[in-house]
Amino acid sequence: MNYSVVIPLYNEEESIAVLHQKVQKVMEDIDKDYEIIYVDDGSKDKTLFLLKALAQKFPKTRIISFKENCGQSAAFLAGFKAAAGAWIITLDGDLQNPPEEIAKLIKGKEGVDFITGIRVQRRDSFTRRISSKIAKVSRAVVLKDKTTDTGCSLRMFKREIVQYLPAFKNFHRFFTFLVQSLGFKVKEVEVSHSHRVFGKSKYGTLARAKEGVADLRGVSWLKKRLIKYEIKYQS
């Protein structure tokens, strides 16, 4: 299989039908050999019910559902481990990452291991944009992280990366940095960004900021202890 699209969802019943239609269309246009893996992160609305209905109608649809809400990193990780595709594609389920932009990632995959989006003309609130800028500066100072857009969930990478990825809560916020630190070739591609059409954000800015400080300390510690090696000869 060529591509696995992994999409975490938490109480996104309103967006599922439109989301699936858009993702399916873009993947059919690009390559017929794909799967879409939805990870229900313990939703309390009709998300799982609607996903089951989709899976019955569309055989390329797979579902993973958590007993309780575990967070976006856990949802991504579960999807990565279940993926069969040589390349894994990720995006949010709220349609702020337009599925049509997947084509840009695929077009830019030659010679690299990991492609990440840079959101142009962001449609987030002023508060979220400011908090993102503060987080970016903090990462640059503490980690020497040069990632342009650390918050974009539209990414594509070789499945083999999963086996080297350190798994911890909120690792997805440092995804690009971790991949670069492990020695993989990374490329950034400009992608569009949309307003949230359905529902509201499930993650508060203040809560993210508090966790971000702790995460930054942890990743700084981890950076110094990552095991990296290149094999010269093996028999």
For residue 213, the model assigns a pLDDT of 62
Res 24 pLDDT > 70: yes
The domain ranges of the chain are 3-223
More confident residue, 209 or 4: 4
For residue 59, the model assigns a pLDDT of 95
Q: 130-134, 138-142, 192-196 — which one is most confidently predicted on average?
A: 192-196
Q: What is this structure's pTM?
A: 0.84
28-72 tens-digit pLDDT: 999 999 999 999 999 999 999 999 999 999 999 999 999 999 999
Mean pLDDT over the full length of the chain: 87
80-115 tens-digit pLDDT: 999 999 999 999 998 989 999 999 999 999 999 999
For residue 225, the model assigns a pLDDT of 74
**CATH, range 3-223:** 3.90.550.10
Res 170 pLDDT > 70: yes
For residue 14, the model assigns a pLDDT of 94
SS (H, E, C) the chain: CCEEEEEEECCCCCCHHHHHHHHHHHHHHHCCCEEEEEEECCCCCCHHHHHHHHHHHCCCEEEEECCCCCCHHHHHHHHHHHCCCCEEEECCCCCCCCHHHHHHHHHCCCCCCEEEEEEECCCCCHHHHHHHHHHHHHHHHHHCCCCCCCCCCCEEEEHHHHHHCCCCCCHHHHHHHHHHHCCCCEEEEEEECCCCCCCCCCCCHHHHHHHHHHHHHHHHHHHCCCCCCCCCCCC
For residue 122, the model assigns a pLDDT of 67
Res 155 pLDDT > 60: yes
